[in-house]
Amino acid sequence: MSTLWSLERGAQLESENSVRFTVWAPRSTAPSVRLRTAAGNVDHPLRAVDGQRGVFTACVDGIGAGTRYSFVLEPGARALPDPASRWQPDGVHGASCVVDPSRYAWTDASWSGIRVEELVIYELHVGTFTPQGTFAAVIPRLADLRSLGVTAIEIMPVAQFPGDRNWGYDGVGLYAVQNSYGGPDGLRALVDAAHSVGLAVILDVVYNHVGPEGNYLDAFGPYFTEKYRTPWGRALNYDDAESDAVRRFVVDNALYWITEYHIDGLRLDAVHGIFDFSATHLLEEIADAVHTQSALLGRSAVVIAESDLNDPRLVRGASEFGYGLDAQWSDDFHHAVHALITRESNGYYADFGSLEAVADALREPFVYDGRYSCYRRRTHGKPSRGVPRRRFVVAIQNHDQIGNRAAGERLASLLTLAQLRVAAALLLLSPYVPLIFMGEEFGETNPFLYFVSHGDERLVCAVREGRRAEFASFGWGDDVPDPQDDATFTRSKLDWSKAARDPHNRVLALYRDLLALRRDEPLLQPDCASVSVSHGHPGWITLLRTPVAGVTSYVNPLVAVFNCSDGESCVPMPASDHGWHLRLSTDAPAYGGNGSAAAFVSSAQPDAPRRLLEPATASVLHMAPWTASVYQAAAD
């Protein structure tokens, strides 16, 4: 791609009063576009495009933005929404609507995007982030997120889904912005406002499956294949007969968000469910296209994958036979921290639970890097040595790990406040890109449950039964909230009033200070320090960061110390000629702690009374249970 991309499929304005309709429908013999007019429905035949098998088009004069239309694939057949519809005002089953993407007056001309190493990601679900559940309602909270220390919001999928409440992973209109959230201009206004306060916007997109209700793609062409199966439905056709047009449909979709909505990055859902044995993998094609288009637009854009494979090939460059994605989620970090602190051992947590696993996750993103997994009953993963740490996104909470619990409990409902503070410190002092799930920063205790609003009662029953079956291996029984019940959705909304009340305001203060320390301290930036991890009984971990020549050689070493146990830990400190000075302690009263600052014991006088911060002679740090502290080596 050497010139700027633009969308060619669907409805494109040729002028203010002329629209070109184009559709890929290789199974159709006499397709037409049906326009809804004041005088009734009017059908216009589509003609085949020379040299493009299965592509049909027609230009219709006298209409413009706001026109409702559908495609009729055979005479007398049902009218169907456009697969590339930009807007479905009446939902997934209704007519599509012509949109003028140039009509919105953007104000972000000076915005140039964000680099992956600068990311501090805040994941949010539009429907439950505010009482109103709209794009517009998110905007007033953006400045607070920026002042918290967040650099990017990651929006859960907004492609049109059935009904008005859903996580978004049941989307069927990949190009249509959810009508109940505010439609196309609502999303544009949110992105524009985010850029105005210095926040990037990452959009969660789903290319591994399409939801069941309102999915009319089968009628248009071979969008799906029977060669593979996914846990969520039929696999999209990326390498079978007639797959070229399907691949284009998805690659175009990625470029569409970057171009027409100024999105700064895409989070690709569950790429282990994308099956493609082509010489050029779809993921590589998406990454190349997005990077090329964003460069032509004068902005940077990132592509981040969620993957269960522990495969560094996703983020290795083409010269290393990789796909060239900018980053990938690493769930091993979450599992290690969660299992250690909660002591849960069901399901995939059976592979974790030890202090060593947490230490391993701080050294390398993949704990399972080719070792045997008891949960999977096979070896899993591959080493990530040599891959920059900025290529990995880690979390202690996200929509999956909370919402895929029967009761949707957040960590604040499972842990003590001291444990919650240590978990936050492990995340925000890790050498990776951190992701915070909405409400985590103030210790939200409202659950985040799985919810839908399907119109097909058989599908509703299937979803209910599927959720119960999913939880069987975790031993959570049959007490699963009904996903279809509106109350399940309402219970999942954030309670922002908590952020001003004790103890939630103290949790918020800790997140703010940890993020400020991460922002201001060069050694806490990904790939700006050499990292050394040690651990020992009963539950201590030290994370030592030392300067990298030519990058941070002017900065003194820094060490984060964690006591992940119910008892006091005696932690051997790294050597420092001029001692260590305390930068932050999670046990400070400002964060709801006891104020029992960690104390050093002199190696020369081990029986002497403990004194705070004896840098010249200190060798052992005594830490209260479930605390974390950050120290920096004193200057010469």
Active site residues: 269, 306
Q: What is the DSSP letter of 53?
A: T
The number of beta carbons lying within 10 Å of the beta carbon of residue 430 is 24
Token pair for 513: 């200070």
| Residue 537 to residue 157: CA distance in whole angstroms | 43
Distances (CA, A) of 314 to 64, 239, 568: 42, 18, 41
Residue with tokens 């009761």: 407
Q: Which residue has the tokens 């109940």?
A: 180
Cis peptide before 312 (omega within 30 of 0): no
CA distance linking residue 273 with residue 287, whole number of Å: 17
Residue at 582: amino acid letter: L
R_g of the chain, CA atoms, integer Å: 26
**CB 194: neighbour CB atoms within 10 A?**
25
Which among 468, 316, 469 is positioned nearest to 385, based on CA atoms?
A: 316
Number of Cβ atoms within 10 Å of the Cβ of 606: 9
Q: How many residues does the chain have?
A: 636
Q: Supply φ then ψ for residue 235, to 5 degrees.
A: -80, 140
In 200-268 the beta strands, taken as DSSP E runs, fall at 200-205, 224-230, 233-236, 265-268
CA distances to 51, 152, 178 from 162, rounded to whole Å, are: 36, 28, 9
Phi-psi region of 140 (alpha: psi -120 to 50; beta: other; left: phi over 0): alpha
Largest CA distance in the chain: 95
Reply yes or no: is the peptide bond before residue 557 cis, omega within 30 of 0. Answer: no
Residues 622 and 561 sit within 8 Å (Cβ to Cβ): no
SS3 labels along 158-185:
CEECCCCCCCCCCCCEEEEECHHHCHHH
Question: Look-up: residue for tokens 């400045």?
Answer: 143
Strands 627-633 and 558-563, by their bridges, are antiparallel
Beta partners for 547?
A: 529
